[in-house]
């Protein structure tokens, strides 16, 4: 083999190595950026003091709500999962408009009482919303995030029953 051919092959493998090193460097840089964002406290959570952040005995809250004559909006969620935080913010925005019309029961699923209450209902994922009529019967449920408009529509329908 001529020395010219060996030189071409050497420069091609050198270029290939440079390409691989650049690719590895880009992947490592992306990993570092993603890790930095995750560790920088950018996690979401429900705002302290909001109605959906209040912890309490969910079983007792539901029993008290059902003793009244109003329909019930029951929300199973956590304070940290992104869809839960999103629906919690939506609930916090619309809830004041339904005060006196609908009783809100907050069930934070990492609380023991909410876990006991969850055993009474059929669902697998959070957030899950249950809409109970004034007789305590489930008339609607939804798993996932409801926008403010969707929540209003469901609560308006619940109040109208």
Q: Which two tokens mark 75?
A: 């929300």
pLDDT tens per residue, range 55-79: 889 999 999 999 999 999 999 999 9
Burial class for 150, CB neighbours closer than 10 Å (0-12, 13-18, 19+): middle
CA-CA distance, 63 to 57, in Å (whole number)? Answer: 10
User: What does the block give as tokens for 141?
Assistant: 């449920």
Cβ atoms of residues 28 and 64 within 8 Å: no
Residue 41: pLDDT band (50, 70, 90) is very low
Q: Give DSSP secondary structure letters for the chain.
A: --HHHHHHHHHHHHHHHHHHHHHHHHHHHHHHHHHHHHHTT----PPTTSGGG----HHHHHHHHHHSSS-EEEEEE-SSSHHHHHHHHHHHHHGGGGTTTSEEEEEETTSHHHHHHHTTS---SSSEEEEE-TTS-EEEEEES---HHHHHHHHHHHHH-
pLDDT in tens, 84-128: 999 999 999 999 999 999 999 999 999 999 999 999 998 999 999
* pLDDT band at residue 29 under the 50/70/90 scheme: low
Q: Is the pLDDT of residue 42 over 50?
A: no
């Amino acid at each position: 083999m001529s020395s010219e051919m060996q030189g071409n092959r050497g420069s091609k493998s050198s270029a290939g190595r440079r390409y691989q090193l650049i690719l590895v460097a880009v992947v490592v840089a992306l990993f570092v950026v993603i890790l930095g964002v995750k560790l920088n406290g950018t996690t979401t959570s429900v705002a302290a003091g909001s109605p959906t952040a209040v912890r309490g005995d969910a079983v007792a809250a539901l029993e008290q709500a059902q003793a009244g004559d109003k329909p019930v909006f029951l929300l199973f969620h956590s304070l940290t999962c992104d869809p839960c935080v999103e629906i919690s913010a939506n609930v916090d925005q619309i809830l004041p408009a339904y005060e006196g019309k609908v009783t809100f029961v907050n069930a934070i699923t990492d609380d023991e009482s909410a876990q006991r209450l969850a055993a009474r209902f059929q669902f697998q994922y959070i957030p899950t919303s249950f809409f109970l009529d004034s007789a305590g019967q489930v008339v609607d449920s939804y798993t996932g995030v409801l926008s403010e408009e969707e929540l209003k529509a469901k609560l308006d329908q619940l109040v109208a029953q």
